[in-house]
């Protein structure tokens, strides 16, 4: 009889070891659920911080653009600016990315300098890959359209240039484009870039005609 009871006790103990305790299973499940909840909470917190930083960066960028835009407008109105070009488009439709230090339209008082130097390989007439011309300006006109887009137009006449130039400013930024209409031919040129005050420009002026 003792042997039977002992055998039953061993079997019961074996089943207890082989079968996880229900309370242990419940505790493990709760731990996993808690871990998932903590991970999700941490992810949501990280995303909230990221969005806050992104919003702050966006506002700082907008503020910087707004300040640069106000400076650009003031510089144009004072006839004391440089449009530093990033791209130049020619009449045949070819558009090239250019060095803004050597491609620009500069206005200082009653004088203007126009330099187009699209080549990084050939020296060109001006020694920096293109052509540099300057002259006196006249017929200046500054006007603002319905949507806040401003246009500054003027004529420039000199030894190597006789052209009409129109500069178009993008509201709220210092981004701008310009069209150069030569009066002696139809080789119109378009440039796109940014406007900075004359003294803040970083340009390399070549030899002019």
d(CA 25, CA 127): 82
pLDDT tens, per residue, the chain with 209 residues: 545 444 444 444 444 444 455 454 555 667 677 777 777 787 777 777 777 777 666 666 766 678 989 999 999 999 999 999 999 999 888 999 999 999 999 999 999 999 999 887 677 788 888 889 999 999 999 999 888 899 999 999 988 889 999 999 999 999 999 999 998 777 899 999 999 999 999 999 888 86
pTM above 0.75, yes or no: no
Q: Work out whether strand 162-169 and strand 150-157 pair parallel, antiparallel, or are unpaired.
A: antiparallel
Q: Give the tokens for residue 78.
A: 């004072």
pLDDT in tens, 86-140: 999 998 889 999 999 999 999 999 999 999 998 876 777 888 888 899 999 999 9
List C-alpha distances in Å: 105 to 32, 82, 125, 153, 194: 66, 6, 17, 12, 10
Work out the end-to-end distance of the chain between its first and last CA atoms, rounded to an integer number of angstroms. Answer: 124
Name the burial class of residue 20, with classes exposed (0-12), middle (13-18) and buried (19+) by CB atoms within 10 angstroms of its CB: exposed
Q: Give the tokens for residue 81.
A: 């600016």
d(CA 175, CA 31): 56
d(CA 180, CA 191): 8
Give backbone dihedrals phi and psi of 176, rounded to 5 degrees, phi first. Answer: -155, 165
What domains does the chain contain, in order, with CATH numbers? 70-197 (2.40.128.410)
């Amino acid at each position: 009889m003792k042997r039977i009871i002992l055998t039953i006790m061993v079997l019961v103990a074996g089943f207890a070891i082989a079968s996880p305790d229900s309370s242990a299973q419940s505790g493990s499940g709760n731990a996993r659920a808690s871990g998932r909840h903590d991970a999700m909470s941490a992810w949501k917190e990280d995303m909230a911080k990221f969005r806050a930083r992104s919003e702050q960066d966006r506002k700082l960028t907008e503020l910087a653009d707004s300040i640069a835009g106000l400076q650009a407008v003031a510089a144009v109105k004072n006839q004391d600016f440089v449009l530093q070009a990033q791209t130049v488009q020619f009449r045949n439709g070819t558009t090239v990315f250019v060095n803004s230090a050597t491609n620009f339209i500069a206005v200082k008082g009653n004088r203007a300098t126009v330099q187009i130097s699209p080549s990084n390989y050939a020296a060109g007439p001006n020694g920096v890959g293109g052509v540099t011309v300057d002259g006196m300006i006249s017929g200046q006109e500054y006007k603002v359209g319905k949507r806040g887009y401003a246009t500054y137009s003027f004529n420039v006449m000199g030894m190597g240039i006789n052209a009409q130039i129109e500069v178009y400013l993008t509201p709220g930024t210092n981004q701008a484009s310009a069209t150069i209409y030569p009066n002696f031919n139809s080789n119109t040129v378009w440039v796109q870039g940014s406007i900075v005050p004359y003294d803040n420009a970083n340009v390399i002026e070549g030899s002019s005609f």
